[in-house]
Amino acid sequence: MRRKIALIGGGQIGQILAMLAAQKELGDIVILDVPDYVNVCKGKALDLMEMAPHGNYDASISATYDYKDIEGADVVIVTAGKPREAGMTREDLLNVNIKIITEVANGVKQYAPKAFCIIVTNPLDAMVYVFHKVTGFPKHQVVGMAGTLDTARWRAFIAMELGVSVADVAGTVLGGHGPDMVPLPRLTTVGGVPLTEIATPEQIEKLVNRTREAGTEIVKLFGKGSAFFSPAWSAIVIAESYLKDKRRVLPCAALCQGEYGVNGLFIGVPCLISAKGMEKIFEIKLTEEEEAQFQKTVASVTKTVSECKI
C-alpha cells in the first residue's frame, strides 16, 4: 500500500511539491486548498497525472477542499498562506497567516493526527510554533523546513562564488529563517577543504550576507511573490528522509527544550530525520562570536513568536 502525502496549499510551492513527490514515487498525493481555488488545483493534479507516462512514475494525484480527504496521511506539508511581497517583512505576514495556520492545524489534528508535519509557510519560525501549539503534537512530529533551505542557499552561493560543484560543498546554517540566521563558515568545507582556507574574508562576508538576504533578493526580483523551487525541494528532502528512513542530518526548525540553551522555541538546528520523525537534535559547540550571533537570532524569533499571542 502506498504512503499518503497531504499538501496543504496548491500554489507555486504546492504544485512543485506534488510534482517532486510524484517523480520520486513517495506516495499518493492529495492537494488541499480553499474552495475558490480547488478547481485550479484539480487541473494541476490532472496535468501531473497526464505527465506520468513520460515521467515514468506511478502515483495517484488529486485535489480537494475537504480535510476529510487527507485522513490517514503519513506526511503533511503546509504551504498555505499569503506569500511575502516586495517591501513586506516576514513579520508583516503574521496576522493573516496565523489565522490560516490555525485553521490548517485544526484540520490536520482531526484527520491526520499521526502525520509527520513539515511547515513551509512564512514567517516560518512563528508559523511552525503556532501549528505546534494548536495541534499539541509531540516535538518529533513537527518541523519547519527553513534550515534545509537556508543551508542549500549557503552551499549554492559558495559554489557559484568559487566555481566549484555544489556536491562538494558541505555546511550548515543555524537559527531563525531571516536576516539574523547564522551560517557557519568555520564548519563549512569544499571537498573536505575548510572554506576559510580557500575563500578570502571578504568573500566569506559577502556569502554570509547574501545567504541572510537570499529570500529578499528573490522577492525583489519577482516583485510579487517569493521563492518556490528551492523551498519545495527542501521540504521534499525532509519528507523523503522520513518516509524512507534515510536518517539524514538536516537543519530544520525544531522545538528546542534545553538544546543550545533554548526552551520552547522552534529554531534552526541540525536534526536527525528518520522514520521516527525528528529523532534527535545535534548540538554544535559554538565559538563566542557564533554564540553571540545565535543569541541574536533567538531574540528575533522570540520577538516574532511573542507577537503571535498564542
CB 119 within 8 A of CB 144: yes
Q: Is the peptide bond before 83 cis (omega within 30 degrees of 0)?
A: no
Residues 168, 165, 193, CA angle at the centre, nearest 5°?
40
Residue with cell 574574508: 201
CB 113 within 8 A of CB 230: no
Tell me how far apart the alpha carbons of residues 152 and 167 are, in angstroms, rounded to a whole number: 11
Give whole-number Cα distances, 23 to 26, 117, 228, in Å.
8, 20, 17
Tell me how far apart the alpha carbons of residues 60 and 88 are, in angstroms, rounded to a whole number: 37
Catalytic residue among 54, 132, 140, 177: 177
Closest CA to 235 of 109, 128, 97: 128
Residue type, 239: A
Tell me how far apart the alpha carbons of residues 175 and 245 are, in angstroms, rounded to a whole number: 25
Strand partners, 78: 8, 119
140 in catalytic set: no
CB 120 within 8 A of CB 13: yes
Alpha-carbon torsion, ordered 26, 152, 157, 86, to 10 deg? 90
End-to-end CA distance of the chain: 39
The residues that are catalytic are 177
